[in-house]
Amino acid sequence: MNTISIVGCGWLGLPLAEHLIRAGFQIKGSTTRQEKLGALEKAGIEPYLLSLDPGLKCKPAAASLLDADVLVINIPPGRSRENVVSYHKLQISNLITAVAASTVRFVVFVSSTSVYPDLNREVGEEDAAADEGSGKALLQAESMLFARPEFSTTVLRLSGLYGHGRHPVHYLAGKTNLPNARAPVNLVHRDDCVRVISSVIRKNVRGQIFSVCSDRHPSRKDLYTTVAARLGLTPPQFAENGKEGFRIVSNAKLKAHLNYEFLYPDPLDEAP
Protein backbone atom coordinates (compact mmCIF):
# COMPACT_ATOMS: atom_id res chain seq x y z
CA MET A 1 0.00 0.00 0.00
CA ASN A 2 2.50 2.57 -1.19
CA THR A 3 0.17 5.02 -2.94
CA ILE A 4 -2.63 6.83 -1.14
CA SER A 5 -5.12 9.21 -2.73
CA ILE A 6 -6.95 11.77 -0.60
CA VAL A 7 -10.16 13.29 -1.92
CA GLY A 8 -10.39 16.54 0.00
CA CYS A 9 -7.01 18.10 0.86
CA GLY A 10 -8.26 20.96 3.00
CA TRP A 11 -7.91 21.83 6.69
CA LEU A 12 -7.68 18.13 7.66
CA GLY A 13 -6.66 16.46 4.42
CA LEU A 14 -3.54 18.55 3.76
CA PRO A 15 -1.81 17.87 7.12
CA LEU A 16 -2.85 14.22 6.75
CA ALA A 17 -1.11 14.11 3.38
CA GLU A 18 2.01 15.75 4.80
CA HIS A 19 2.05 13.24 7.68
CA LEU A 20 1.75 10.29 5.30
CA ILE A 21 4.48 11.67 3.03
CA ARG A 22 6.83 11.81 6.03
CA ALA A 23 5.90 8.17 6.69
CA GLY A 24 7.10 7.22 3.21
CA PHE A 25 3.87 7.04 1.21
CA GLN A 26 3.31 8.47 -2.25
CA ILE A 27 0.34 10.84 -2.01
CA LYS A 28 -2.14 12.07 -4.58
CA GLY A 29 -4.63 14.67 -3.44
CA SER A 30 -7.57 16.66 -4.71
CA THR A 31 -8.94 20.12 -4.08
CA THR A 32 -11.98 21.93 -5.44
CA ARG A 33 -10.07 25.19 -5.87
CA GLN A 34 -7.66 25.95 -8.70
CA GLU A 35 -5.62 28.34 -6.54
CA LYS A 36 -4.78 25.55 -4.07
CA LEU A 37 -3.11 23.26 -6.60
CA GLY A 38 0.24 24.98 -6.15
CA ALA A 39 0.17 24.49 -2.37
CA LEU A 40 -0.51 20.78 -2.80
CA GLU A 41 2.35 20.39 -5.25
CA LYS A 42 4.69 22.36 -2.98
CA ALA A 43 3.83 19.96 -0.15
CA GLY A 44 4.90 17.00 -2.29
CA ILE A 45 1.37 15.93 -3.24
CA GLU A 46 0.45 15.00 -6.81
CA PRO A 47 -2.37 17.56 -7.27
CA TYR A 48 -5.80 17.13 -8.85
CA LEU A 49 -8.69 19.53 -9.36
CA LEU A 50 -11.86 17.60 -8.52
CA SER A 51 -15.50 18.55 -8.16
CA LEU A 52 -18.55 16.50 -7.18
CA ASP A 53 -21.50 18.73 -7.97
CA PRO A 54 -22.81 16.05 -7.92
CA GLY A 55 -21.21 14.67 -11.08
CA LEU A 56 -17.53 13.76 -10.91
CA LYS A 57 -15.17 16.07 -12.80
CA CYS A 58 -11.40 15.78 -12.42
CA LYS A 59 -8.25 17.26 -14.00
CA PRO A 60 -6.07 15.33 -14.68
CA ALA A 61 -8.40 12.38 -15.22
CA ALA A 62 -10.05 10.68 -12.24
CA ALA A 63 -8.56 7.38 -13.37
CA SER A 64 -5.12 8.78 -12.58
CA LEU A 65 -6.16 10.12 -9.16
CA LEU A 66 -7.69 6.74 -8.32
CA ASP A 67 -4.67 4.76 -9.52
CA ALA A 68 -3.79 4.06 -5.89
CA ASP A 69 -3.86 1.37 -3.23
CA VAL A 70 -5.83 3.33 -0.64
CA LEU A 71 -8.39 6.11 -0.97
CA VAL A 72 -9.30 8.53 1.83
CA ILE A 73 -12.68 10.20 1.23
CA ASN A 74 -12.93 13.46 3.13
CA ILE A 75 -15.88 15.34 1.62
CA PRO A 76 -18.43 16.29 4.28
CA PRO A 77 -22.00 16.94 3.12
CA GLY A 78 -22.99 20.59 3.06
CA ARG A 79 -24.96 21.31 6.22
CA SER A 80 -26.77 24.29 4.71
CA ARG A 81 -27.97 22.49 1.59
CA GLU A 82 -31.73 21.78 1.74
CA ASN A 83 -31.46 18.53 -0.22
CA VAL A 84 -28.29 17.41 1.57
CA VAL A 85 -29.32 13.73 1.81
CA SER A 86 -30.19 13.21 -1.85
CA TYR A 87 -27.34 15.41 -3.09
CA HIS A 88 -24.65 13.66 -1.02
CA LYS A 89 -26.02 10.30 -2.14
CA LEU A 90 -25.41 11.31 -5.76
CA GLN A 91 -21.93 12.62 -4.91
CA ILE A 92 -20.90 9.37 -3.21
CA SER A 93 -22.59 7.22 -5.85
CA ASN A 94 -20.67 8.93 -8.65
CA LEU A 95 -17.41 8.62 -6.73
CA ILE A 96 -18.05 4.95 -5.92
CA THR A 97 -18.61 4.16 -9.60
CA ALA A 98 -15.16 5.53 -10.40
CA VAL A 99 -13.51 3.84 -7.41
CA ALA A 100 -15.01 0.45 -8.28
CA ALA A 101 -13.35 0.63 -11.71
CA SER A 102 -9.97 1.61 -10.25
CA THR A 103 -7.06 -0.11 -8.52
CA VAL A 104 -8.23 1.08 -5.08
CA ARG A 105 -8.89 -1.83 -2.74
CA PHE A 106 -9.18 -0.02 0.59
CA VAL A 107 -11.31 3.06 1.32
CA VAL A 108 -11.13 5.10 4.53
CA PHE A 109 -14.28 7.22 4.81
CA VAL A 110 -14.25 10.27 7.06
CA SER A 111 -17.68 10.48 8.68
CA SER A 112 -18.98 12.30 11.77
CA THR A 113 -20.41 11.62 15.21
CA SER A 114 -23.42 13.67 14.08
CA VAL A 115 -24.85 10.25 13.16
CA TYR A 116 -25.52 9.64 16.87
CA PRO A 117 -28.74 10.91 18.48
CA ASP A 118 -28.90 12.55 21.90
CA LEU A 119 -29.66 9.50 24.04
CA ASN A 120 -28.62 11.16 27.33
CA ARG A 121 -25.94 8.50 27.85
CA GLU A 122 -22.69 7.20 26.43
CA VAL A 123 -23.05 6.17 22.79
CA GLY A 124 -21.04 3.67 20.77
CA GLU A 125 -20.74 2.71 17.13
CA GLU A 126 -23.91 0.62 17.24
CA ASP A 127 -26.05 3.61 18.30
CA ALA A 128 -26.01 5.45 14.96
CA ALA A 129 -29.57 6.45 14.08
CA ALA A 130 -29.65 9.85 12.37
CA ASP A 131 -32.90 10.40 10.49
CA GLU A 132 -32.31 13.79 8.88
CA GLY A 133 -29.74 16.27 7.68
CA SER A 134 -26.02 15.66 7.32
CA GLY A 135 -26.08 12.78 9.82
CA LYS A 136 -28.51 10.84 7.65
CA ALA A 137 -26.48 11.71 4.55
CA LEU A 138 -23.33 10.30 6.14
CA LEU A 139 -25.00 7.10 7.35
CA GLN A 140 -26.32 6.57 3.84
CA ALA A 141 -22.83 7.08 2.39
CA GLU A 142 -21.33 4.63 4.89
CA SER A 143 -23.85 1.95 3.87
CA MET A 144 -23.23 2.53 0.17
CA LEU A 145 -19.48 2.06 0.64
CA PHE A 146 -19.79 -1.05 2.81
CA ALA A 147 -22.11 -2.63 0.21
CA ARG A 148 -19.48 -2.64 -2.53
CA PRO A 149 -17.48 -5.87 -3.01
CA GLU A 150 -14.73 -4.26 -5.12
CA PHE A 151 -13.00 -2.69 -2.09
CA SER A 152 -12.92 -2.80 1.70
CA THR A 153 -14.06 0.18 3.76
CA THR A 154 -13.33 1.50 7.23
CA VAL A 155 -15.37 4.41 8.59
CA LEU A 156 -14.01 6.99 11.01
CA ARG A 157 -16.70 9.08 12.71
CA LEU A 158 -14.93 12.23 13.86
CA SER A 159 -16.26 14.38 16.69
CA GLY A 160 -16.16 18.17 16.57
CA LEU A 161 -12.76 19.25 15.26
CA TYR A 162 -10.44 21.79 16.82
CA GLY A 163 -6.82 22.85 16.75
CA HIS A 164 -4.45 25.05 14.74
CA GLY A 165 -6.65 28.14 14.84
CA ARG A 166 -9.98 26.37 14.59
CA HIS A 167 -12.28 26.06 17.61
CA PRO A 168 -16.07 26.14 18.12
CA VAL A 169 -15.60 28.90 20.70
CA HIS A 170 -15.03 31.39 17.87
CA TYR A 171 -18.69 30.96 16.87
CA LEU A 172 -19.96 31.27 20.45
CA ALA A 173 -17.83 34.10 21.86
CA GLY A 174 -19.91 37.04 23.09
CA LYS A 175 -23.24 35.27 22.70
CA THR A 176 -25.73 35.17 25.57
CA ASN A 177 -28.44 32.87 26.89
CA LEU A 178 -26.91 29.82 25.20
CA PRO A 179 -28.58 26.47 25.98
CA ASN A 180 -27.14 23.23 27.33
CA ALA A 181 -24.65 24.69 29.80
CA ARG A 182 -24.05 21.33 31.48
CA ALA A 183 -24.10 19.17 28.36
CA PRO A 184 -20.80 17.31 27.77
CA VAL A 185 -18.86 18.20 24.63
CA ASN A 186 -17.45 15.74 22.12
CA LEU A 187 -14.34 17.14 20.45
CA VAL A 188 -11.14 15.81 18.93
CA HIS A 189 -7.92 17.59 17.97
CA ARG A 190 -6.84 17.63 14.34
CA ASP A 191 -3.47 16.07 15.17
CA ASP A 192 -5.23 13.07 16.71
CA CYS A 193 -7.45 12.69 13.64
CA VAL A 194 -4.37 12.63 11.41
CA ARG A 195 -2.67 10.01 13.56
CA VAL A 196 -5.79 7.82 13.76
CA ILE A 197 -6.32 7.83 9.99
CA SER A 198 -2.63 7.04 9.49
CA SER A 199 -2.82 4.20 12.02
CA VAL A 200 -5.83 2.62 10.28
CA ILE A 201 -3.95 2.68 6.97
CA ARG A 202 -0.61 1.45 8.30
CA LYS A 203 -2.22 -1.34 10.34
CA ASN A 204 -4.54 -2.23 7.44
CA VAL A 205 -7.64 -2.21 9.65
CA ARG A 206 -10.50 -2.95 7.26
CA GLY A 207 -14.25 -3.36 7.59
CA GLN A 208 -14.53 -1.40 10.83
CA ILE A 209 -16.35 1.65 12.19
CA PHE A 210 -14.66 3.78 14.85
CA SER A 211 -15.78 6.83 16.78
CA VAL A 212 -12.90 9.30 17.08
CA CYS A 213 -13.31 11.50 20.16
CA SER A 214 -11.15 12.76 23.00
CA ASP A 215 -11.16 10.85 26.28
CA ARG A 216 -12.73 13.60 28.35
CA HIS A 217 -15.97 15.51 27.96
CA PRO A 218 -16.07 18.81 29.88
CA SER A 219 -19.36 20.70 29.99
CA ARG A 220 -20.12 23.27 27.32
CA LYS A 221 -19.99 26.05 29.89
CA ASP A 222 -16.67 24.98 31.41
CA LEU A 223 -14.98 24.44 28.07
CA TYR A 224 -16.10 27.49 26.15
CA THR A 225 -15.72 30.01 28.98
CA THR A 226 -12.24 28.65 29.76
CA VAL A 227 -11.04 28.62 26.15
CA ALA A 228 -12.57 32.04 25.42
CA ALA A 229 -10.63 33.56 28.32
CA ARG A 230 -7.45 31.82 27.15
CA LEU A 231 -7.84 33.26 23.64
CA GLY A 232 -8.81 36.73 24.80
CA LEU A 233 -12.39 36.41 23.52
CA THR A 234 -15.57 37.57 25.23
CA PRO A 235 -16.79 34.48 27.11
CA PRO A 236 -20.21 33.19 26.04
CA GLN A 237 -23.02 33.34 28.59
CA PHE A 238 -25.10 30.23 29.24
CA ALA A 239 -28.64 29.86 30.54
CA GLU A 240 -28.62 27.69 33.65
CA ASN A 241 -32.03 26.11 33.25
CA GLY A 242 -33.84 24.07 30.66
CA LYS A 243 -33.86 20.43 29.62
CA GLU A 244 -30.57 19.34 28.09
CA GLY A 245 -30.29 16.47 25.65
CA PHE A 246 -26.78 15.11 25.28
CA ARG A 247 -24.56 12.26 24.17
CA ILE A 248 -21.12 11.16 25.32
CA VAL A 249 -19.22 9.61 22.42
CA SER A 250 -17.16 6.61 23.52
CA ASN A 251 -13.74 6.01 21.97
CA ALA A 252 -13.31 2.62 23.68
CA LYS A 253 -13.49 0.55 20.49
CA LEU A 254 -10.93 2.76 18.73
CA LYS A 255 -8.45 2.62 21.60
CA ALA A 256 -8.81 -1.15 21.95
CA HIS A 257 -8.44 -2.01 18.25
CA LEU A 258 -5.65 0.43 17.42
CA ASN A 259 -3.96 0.55 20.83
CA TYR A 260 -4.21 4.31 20.44
CA GLU A 261 -3.48 6.95 23.06
CA PHE A 262 -4.65 10.48 22.36
CA LEU A 263 -2.17 13.32 22.10
CA TYR A 264 -4.85 15.65 23.47
CA PRO A 265 -7.18 13.58 25.69
CA ASP A 266 -8.85 16.62 27.28
CA PRO A 267 -10.25 19.54 25.22
CA LEU A 268 -9.65 21.78 28.25
CA ASP A 269 -5.88 21.33 27.94
CA GLU A 270 -3.87 23.87 25.97
CA ALA A 271 -3.09 22.68 22.45
CA PRO A 272 -1.80 24.16 19.19
What domains are there in the chain, each with its CATH number? Answer: 3-162+189-214+246-258 (3.40.50.720)
Which pLDDT tens digit goes with each residue over 118-133? 999 999 999 999 888 9
pLDDT digit string (tens) for 185-221?
999 999 999 999 999 999 999 999 999 999 999 999 9
pTM as predicted: 0.96
Q: Of 149, 142, 156, 75, nearest to 105 (Cα)?
A: 149
Establish whether the linkage from the previous residue to 76 is cis, with ω within 30° of 0: no
CA angle 254, 132, 75 (to 5 degrees): 55
Regions of the chain short of the pLDDT cut 50: none
How far is the C-alpha of 27 from the C-alpha of 16, rounded, in Å? Answer: 10
Radius of gyration of the chain (CA): 19
Q: What digits encode the pLDDT tens for the residues 26-35? A: 999 999 999 9
Share of the chain above pLDDT 70, in %: 99
